[in-house]
Chains A and B, each alone.
Chain A
Amino acid sequence: MFGFTRSQYIAFLIMVALIVVSPFVLYPVFLMRVLCAALFACAFNLMLGYVGLLSFGHAAFFGMGSYVTAWTMKFWHLDAFFAMALGGLTGAALGLALGYLAIRRSGIYFAMITLALAQMVYFFCLEAPFTGGEDGIQQVPRGHLFGFIDLSNDMTMYWVVAAVFLGGFLLIHRIIHSPFGQVLKGIRENEPRATSLGYRTDDYKLIAFVLSCGLSGLAGGTKALVFGIATLTDVHYSTSGEVVLTTLLGGLGTVFGPAMGALIVTSMENYLAQAGAWVTVIQGAIFMICVLAFRRGVIGEIANWRKLTL
């Protein structure tokens, strides 16, 4: 029903099994971090992998989603569902505004414009009173979902995050394999031709951008809820860089690559936490190795080796 091929179906079942089993083996808070990063990377991959536009400003949508969810949870005491939904809507609305400007250029300019616009959002968050400036919004309560599910328990929260991730993952997969998604791929391969066939390519790109930003905002909001904090790091351009790395490392334009990338990058940060500034050096080095020798990414290499579509 989601347009999976046989190999993707098997991979999907393996992924679901891992999501179900792992909280009994590993620390759930760590796993929630992986899942939020994975949703963010999947949303980013929708733009880069399927439309072929590199956004270097996705932190703006992730971060604003995170701020809005944190703010509405802490000061309006909203239900967690509405707070996360508002995070996603904020990402989508901001994506509509910034995307409208950015899609006027493509290729390398698109990357620079999104980077610059996201930097503007960063400066806005630095100055605006509601973000708490350098302190961020701290001690955000997790509250309740639908009024009766208490999220303060890590395991309960984990299942909610897992459901959000799987929902987002399947939605993205459905989008990619819809007629709309086929047009997106057509634009990626040959935009003038798509235009000549009568498609309004700018509209398609903008819709894809808004969807991608909305899901990024949802990922940010979920992250804010899990950790009870929204800070400037979420909107900083290093977060934008990290999601590019995650997607590239996992496998650009593959369905399962971003999730795999999120697992690798988050584990790396977790285990290298003591290494301080070396984390940046290692991340940078991985970036360079990926670009030079490993452009298909982990999942892309496996798919190529086994002749599968993943």
Chain B
Amino acid sequence: MIMIFGIPGPLLFGQLLLGLINGAFYAMLSLGLAVIFGMLNIINFAHGALFMMGAFVAWILLDTLGIGYFPALILAPLIVGVFGVILERTIISRLYKLDHLYGLLLTFGLSLVIEGLFRNAYGSSGLPYRIPDVLQGATNLGFMYMPNYRGWVVLAALVVCISTWLIIEKTSLGATLRAATENAPLVQAFGVNVPRLITLTYGAGIALAAFAGVLAAPIYSVNPNMGSNFINTVFAVVVIGGMGSILGSIITGFGLGVVEGLTKVFYPQASATVVFLVMIIVLLARPRGLFGKAA
């Protein structure tokens, strides 16, 4: 057996993989938060609730309509994304002229409502979601056995994160989006429908959260608290990375997941708090965040 720093190799790699998976969720969620914050100037507190909703929609699709995992991976983000678009049009758009804090408070209330409704309907014990047959089993990588589904989650998250980054940085749509983030009235003067752009951005950010939710469904049990368990850590991730950069959110998300995984190997008691400790260090050394722009 390989030993690394006195730790059995498989244990180390196993925790690293778990860390990468958590990191994948941190990355996808903080990415969505960053994109939404850039355009709407609100912190979407309901992000965790909508992540949970994505997992539930996938479960409901399977349970009532018999729609399997892979179609759900497309359908659930679409459904939840449309829900997000409706929310933005009917409620959130009323707040743009107010202090940013009201957006935070409103979406906090929204998350309470959504979580409460799901708790009423499905209880809080959690519902199992089966890993699809294709992704069952494990692969021997030589140094460790990797459960196929976990490998898939990391891969899918990477692909989605990098595509989002490419869309924002390399396409003309992304260029318009970045321009509108910098100076919305000017972009509107050039004939771009900025309110629609804002709505679609919110919908896309929500769809990203829902996509993460579907990926998470087979790993964690589908339960109403799964989002709020994540979202507090994701806020710390956002503070560490700073919201200025898309790539920064992705790197910070994965990086902190790995740090958390390593902490679980070397000092398990601190694994729940290590992200917050990193946040404290970053606040002391570089208050604007690792990738943040100066305020």
Contact = CB atoms under 8 A, between A and B. Distances in A.
Given A119-B233, A284-B111, A113 B269 contact: no
A278 interface: yes
B283 A295 contact: no
Contacts, number: 121
B274 to A, nearest CB: 10
Interface in B258-295: 269, 272-273, 276-277, 279-280, 283-284, 287-288, 295
Name B's interface SS.
helix
A286 B272 CA distance: 32
Interface residues on B, range: 35 or more
B287 A281 contact: no
B88 interface: no
Given A280-B115, A287-B109, A123 B273 contact: yes
Name A's interface SS.
helix
Interface string A100-121: 0110110111011101110110
Contact of A119 (B43, B109, B276): B276
B120 A112 contact: no
A54 B104 contact: yes
A276 B120 contact: yes
Contact of A291 (B105, B111, B115, B277): B105
B287 A116 contact: no
Which of B94, B98, B117, B235 has the most chain A CB within a 10 Å cutoff?
A: B235
Contacts of A126: 272
B100 interface: yes
A116 B104 contact: no
A186 interface: no
A198 B272 CA distance: 42
B236 interface: yes
A241 interface: yes
Given A277-B120, A292-B91, A113 B239 contact: yes
A276 to B, nearest CB: 7
B239 A278 contact: no
A244 B105 CA distance: 8
Contacts of A286: 109
19 contacts: A104-B283, A105-B283, A107-B100, A108-B100, A112-B43, A112-B238, A116-B236, A117-B279, A120-B277, A237-B228, A278-B120, A280-B116, A283-B109, A284-B112, A284-B114, A285-B109, A288-B91, A288-B106, A295-B98
Given A276-B120, A284-B112, 10 more contacts: A54-B105, A101-B280, A107-B101, A108-B37, A117-B280, A126-B272, A127-B272, A237-B232, A280-B112, A280-B113
Interface of B: 37, 43, 91, 94-95, 98, 100-102, 104-106, 108-117, 119-120, 228, 232-233, 235-236, 238-239, 269, 272-273, 276-277, 279-280, 283-284, 287-288, 295
Name the 4 nearest CB pairs between A and B, nearest first. Answer: A287-B109, A284-B112, A280-B116, A281-B116
